[in-house]
């Protein structure tokens, strides 16, 4: 790294003298270059709002932002990331103020956290905004930007399998209740998910009025598209589609599922119209970070659910983990944090398959920061590997009629990167999922979950630590 303050000051002095002689009324900001981004068309409803451009102040130094950007590259280009070019720096100056560039130039050393300290947003977020990804790409959503000096903790929740299928017991029970979903899922769960910045569940059914049950399957699930609104009632933002029920009623119903989720503002990963769509991560810009969600499946012992191909729809499989390892690495290179969802394991047991243990470590080595498992229809324990959390299976959230322990993972990601995990226990009894944090039953569930893997402690408030 090299010191850039002196060089910047000398160059700036020369430039200012030249400008004062030739154009004493030069504007504070130069004309944006063609490659710089205007953010005035960004979404303003569910998504966050983008910062407005600063107005010129005639009393300030009249050096144009573009010239400051050029000076920074001239004096410090060799210590900045290779993709930080003049257009990008001009964009940062226009959107976060000319003083941001001055502070950047005055740094003695370059660090990855520098951008967040100057703008409230990481370099990955700034790159995404500069490229207009939230406006141009279907798999990038702007939730909220960070503010300098006002960084906040990002809260996420993760749950297991849910099913809104009209031909299955939980929805059939819901239709007999007086108050609908609140008589089936304790309202406290919806509060927890609505209060989170991001809430996730596994979509274990297809959403359509079309198609026929897949031949050879014992259980096939199809929900009327109107039931997708139940996700909004719960406060769910994102669902996984890489599972063994997404294609239960064939391709038309699968494509209807994608359309229904999109129409209701529910994001997804793990399934798509082709391999590119099925395998791509979904990115959220939230609180100044870029967070990637990746979803894949290896759940079926007798494989029936089709894998997405170059020109065919389906899910993202990971029986051979090599492609998933590549996707994780790509997501890590393009984001600040990677959450991986894998649909796997043996149903109705807490005993892990050996492949769960070995590949989970490989996925973290490839760049996953958190691993969430589903499919087993029961809880399967927690492990910390290289400081990264693995929740091997979150079981049923609201899926079946038998009694089964369940719950949600609550994850707090602090501004400094500190990770705090909680497990909020619940019980699915019949077709009702209760909220049990703080009850004797809840304490039993926490003890069971902590006991599945050695070295795990869960406090009465659900706080998880590795001993």
Q: What is the mean pLDDT of residues 453-462?
A: 97
Of 71-80, 332-341, 350-359, 439-448, minimum mean pLDDT range: 71-80
pLDDT in tens, 92-113: 999 999 999 999 988 888 888 9
The CA distance from 196 to 422, in Å, is: 13
Please tell me the predicted confidence (pLDDT) of residue 63: 57
Is residue 376 pLDDT above 70, yes or no?
Answer: yes
pLDDT of residue 71: 82
Q: Are 455 and 467 in contact (CB under 8 A)?
A: yes
Listed range (65-69, 249-253, 444-448) with the worst mean pLDDT: 65-69
The reported pTM is 0.87
Average pLDDT of 431-445? 98
What does the pLDDT read at residue 6? 35
Confidence band, pLDDT 50/70/90 cuts, at residue 79: confident
The token pair that represents 258 in the structure block: 């994608």
3-state secondary structure of 285: strand
Q: Does the pLDDT of residue 56 top 50, yes or no?
A: no
Distance in Å from the first CA to the final CA of the chain: 39
User: Tokens 């243990």 label which residue?
Assistant: 357
In whole angstroms, what is the distance from residue 466 CA to residue 125 CA?
A: 31
DSSP-assigned states of every residue in 302-368: S--SPBP-SSS-EE-B-SSTHHHHHHHHHHHHT-SEEEEEEE-S-TT-SPPPHHHHHHHHHHHHHT-
pLDDT beyond 60 at 218: yes
With a pLDDT cut of 70, the percent of the chain lying above it is: 86
Give the angle 394-400-401 at the CA atoms, nearest 5°: 130
Looking at residue 12, what is its pLDDT? 41
Q: What is the pLDDT of residue 177?
A: 97
Fill in the DSSP letter of residue 78: G
| Least confident residue range of 7-16, 170-179, 265-274 | 7-16
Mean pLDDT for the chain overall? 88
Is-contact 96 114, C-beta < 8 A?
A: no
Residue 78's pLDDT is 73
Per-residue model confidence (pLDDT) at position 70:
85
What pLDDT, on the 0 to 100 scale, is given for residue 108? 80
Mean pLDDT is lowest, of 35-39, 145-149, 347-351, 391-395, for 35-39
Does position 46 have pLDDT exceeding 60, yes or no? no
**pLDDT for res 72:** 86
Q: What are phi and psi of 297, to 5 degrees?
A: -135, 145
The pLDDT value given to residue 289: 97
Task: Tell me the C-alpha distance between 92 and 69, whole Å.
Answer: 9
Going by C-alpha positions, the residue among 301, 291, 376, 367 that lies closest to residue 336 is 291
Query: What's the Cα-to-Cα distance from 143 to each of 47, 64, 115, 291, 366, rounded to whole Å?
Result: 4, 31, 19, 11, 27
The widest CA-to-CA distance across the chain, in whole angstroms, is: 83
């Amino acid at each position: 790294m090299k010191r850039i303050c002196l060089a910047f000051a000398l160059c700036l002095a020369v430039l200012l003298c030249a400008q004062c002689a030739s154009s004493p009324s030069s504007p504070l900001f130069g004309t944006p270059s063609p490659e710089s981004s205007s953010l005035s068309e960004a979404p303003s409803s569910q998504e966050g709002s983008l910062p407005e451009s600063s107005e010129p102040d005639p009393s300030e130094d009249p050096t144009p932002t573009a010239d400051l950007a050029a000076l920074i590259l001239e004096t410090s280009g060799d210590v900045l990331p290779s993709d930080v070019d003049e257009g990008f720096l001009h964009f940062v100056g226009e959107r976060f103020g000319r003083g941001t560039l001055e502070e950047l130039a005055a740094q003695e050393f370059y660090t990855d956290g520098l951008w967040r300290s100057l703008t409230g947003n990481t370099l990955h977020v700034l790159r995404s905004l500069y490229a207009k990804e939230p406006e141009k790409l279907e798999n990038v959503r702007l939730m909220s930007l960070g503010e300098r000096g006002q960084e906040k903790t990002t809260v996420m929740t993760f749950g297991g399998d849910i099913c809104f299928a009209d031909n299955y017991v939980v929805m059939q029970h819901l239709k007999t209740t007086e108050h609908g979903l609140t008589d089936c899922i304790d309202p406290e769960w919806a509060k927890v998910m609505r209060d989170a910045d991001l809430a996730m569940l596994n979509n274990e059914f297809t959403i359509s009025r079309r198609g026929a049950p897949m031949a050879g399957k014992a259980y096939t699930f199809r929900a009327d598209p109107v039931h997708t609104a139940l996700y909004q009632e719960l406060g769910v933002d994102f669902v996984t589609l890489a599972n063994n029920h997404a294609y239960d009623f064939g391709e038309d119903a699968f494509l209807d599922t994608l359309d229904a989720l999109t129409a209701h503002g529910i994001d997804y990963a793990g399934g798509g119209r082709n391999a590119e769509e099925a395998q791509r991560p979904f990115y959220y810009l939230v609180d100044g970070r870029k967070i990637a969600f990746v979803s894949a499946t290896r759940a079926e012992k007798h494989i029936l659910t089709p894998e997405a191909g170059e020109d065919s729809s389906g899910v993202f499989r990971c029986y051979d983990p090599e492609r998933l390892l590549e996707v994780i690495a790509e997501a890590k290179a393009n984001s600040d944090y990677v959450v991986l969802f894998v649909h796997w394991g043996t149903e109705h047991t807490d005993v892990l398959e050996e492949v769960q243990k070995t590949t989970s470590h490989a996925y973290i080595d490839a760049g996953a920061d958190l691993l969430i498992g589903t499919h087993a229809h029961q809880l399967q324990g927690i492990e910390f590997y290289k400081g990264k959390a693995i929740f091997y299976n979150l079981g049923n959230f609201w899926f079946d009629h038998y009694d089964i322990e369940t719950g949600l993972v609550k994850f707090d990601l602090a501004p400094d990167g500190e990770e705090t995990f909680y497990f909020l226990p619940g019980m699915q009894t019949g077709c009702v999922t209760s909220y049990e944090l703080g009850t004797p039953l809840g304490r039993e569930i926490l003890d069971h979950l902590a006991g599945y893997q050695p070295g795990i402690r869960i406090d009465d408030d659900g706080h998880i630590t590795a001993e």
